[in-house]
Amino acid sequence: MSVNEGRVLLTGASGYVGGRLLRVLREAGRPIRCLARHPEFLRARVGPDVEVVGGDVTDAASLARALEGAHSAYYLVHAMGAERGFEELDRLGAANFGAAARACGVERIVYLGGLGDPREPLSPHLRSRHEVGEVLRASGVQVVELRASVVIGSGSLSFEMIRALTERLPVMITPRWVAAKAQPIAISDLLQYLAQALEVEVEGSPVFEVGGADVVSYGDLMREYARQRGLRRLMIPVPVLTPYLSSLWLGLVTPLYARVGRKLVESLRHDTVVQDPSAAKVFTVRPKGVRDCVAEALHHEERELAQTRWSDALSSAGLERTWAGVRFGNRLMYVCSTSTPAPPDRAFRPIQRIGGATGWYYATWLWHLRGFFDLLVGGVGARRGRRHPTELLVGDTVDWWRVVDLEPDRRLRLEAEMRLPGRAWLEFDVEPTDSGSTIRQIAVFDPVGLAGLAYWYLVYPLHALVFPGMLRAIARAAQEETEEGSSPLI
């Protein structure tokens, strides 16, 4: 059987690249099995045609079941977020995976690593990425390794860092790494490379360097982002700014926390440019230039937001809150959740009736007051109401919101059409549990400039009052409907 037939094992399906690659493989009709440390979380996000098994690459005993019957596998995991010893963890994971793949008869492993000239003293992160490829090849299984430069796409770590820096800092004191050269690649192009890597005819275990059409600096990337967003930005380079100080700086104004930020900064100071053009002879991909990469990321960010479950990384046990929201890129998010004995269909009914004559279940007068202020500044206010008191369709208006995503008995996503210094979404998710359902409420805000940030923090006390109260009232309404529905007729 050839490598482009049979079951494919995908690791890293809950990550940025892996999650998008999963959709590409499903659309191609490939039989897929995913390896996940928390399979219960991933199962809720994939279709019934995707098999999900529990396991961890650092636990050799857990890999046999995942790899059994697989004819090819993607290795898209790394331990950069670990507090310490990530190199050893990466080495152990690759050795375990390679040995298990060989024992199970896997024909090909596709591995995504990072660009960097191996003749230079690389950062620990890049050195580890290269070492993982070497360890996988030592297993004896054929390995196709892709070494990529900066990945540009809405939600990618690099793009969100560039977005946050450019949006939030009109004047930037830029460290030396901002001048380092890179060959940014669009996520759509990288996915094509990964998909084709299962099929290309190669001998041995080759390494392919992949990047976009342009060689630019990180400063050039930020300037191109600013140009397309209509922003004017001033960059003032400084000769000395240690990786530690740079990581603290990034942690202050971007979604990176200092531990990951420092490891990333140590890698950013290296040029990541394609030296070996052999990928162009083997693959049919013709990568985009920087201008098209950024334009594509900005154009698709609404679709990516709808497809990405922002709450997946947060605990859903009990009623939880987060102080002033969780930051992802330039977006802020408020999340709370609660449990109810109502089954999902009953739990979703109060959500589907939200707004209009039903109101917002808690402090409705505050919602009306917000609508009144929106009218004063020329917005739509709450006067539009609803098309139907109990039914919703995608595209319907709900007061000053519009329905942009609806999965019956599972999810409702609303986009705000009020006047705001930014964009806002409100989502309700219902998931089944052994004792009933969990209802999760997610408010996402994408601020524009300092006015947007000021707005978020000024209204946060109201969010902390209204959203949890609203969620509790929805849960009570769901429980009451369940109890009424189960009462015997007299």
Mean pLDDT by 10 residues, the chain (490 residues): 69 86 91 86 76 90 92 85 69 94 95 86 82 94 94 81 78 76 93 94 94 91 90 79 56 47 59 89 94 88 44 30 42 86 92 90 85 74 77 84 88 88 90 90 85 86 89 92 59
Task: Kindly report the number of other CB atoms within 10 A of residue 408's CB atom.
Answer: 11
Q: 300 with 364, same domain?
A: no
For residue 279, the model assigns a pLDDT of 93
Same domain, 276 and 328: no
Element housing 9 (H / E): strand 7-11
Domain boundary among 258, 278, 304: 304
The CATH code of the domain that includes 325 is 3.30.530.20
CA pair distance 441, 432, nearest whole angstrom: 15
Quote the pLDDT of residue 31: 92
- 65 vs 41, 61, 77, 104, 432, CA distance in Å? 19, 9, 18, 9, 27
| Domains: count for the chain | 2
Q: Are residues 459 and 371 in the same domain?
A: yes
Phi, psi at 186, each rounded to 5°: -70, 145
Domain containing 477 equals 309-486
pLDDT at 174: 74
For 102, phi and psi rounded to 5 degrees? -65, -40
Residue at which a domain ends, from 238, 269, 304? 304
| Helix (H) or strand (E) run with residue 292 in it | helix 290-299
Whole-number pLDDT of residue 422: 86
Write down the pLDDT at residue 349: 93
Q: Are residues 216 and 331 in the same domain?
A: no
Strands 207-210 vs 142-148: parallel, antiparallel or unpaired: parallel
**Is there a single domain that holds both residue 22 and residue 166?**
yes
**296 and 331 together in one domain:** no
- List residues bridging with 210 in a β-sheet: 148
**Domain closes at, from 289, 304, 319:** 304
| Inter-residue contact 480 to 463 (CB < 8 Å) | no
Q: Is residue 2 part of a domain?
A: no
Largest pairwise CA distance in the chain: 84
| Contact status, residue 22 vs residue 10, Cβ threshold 8 Å | yes
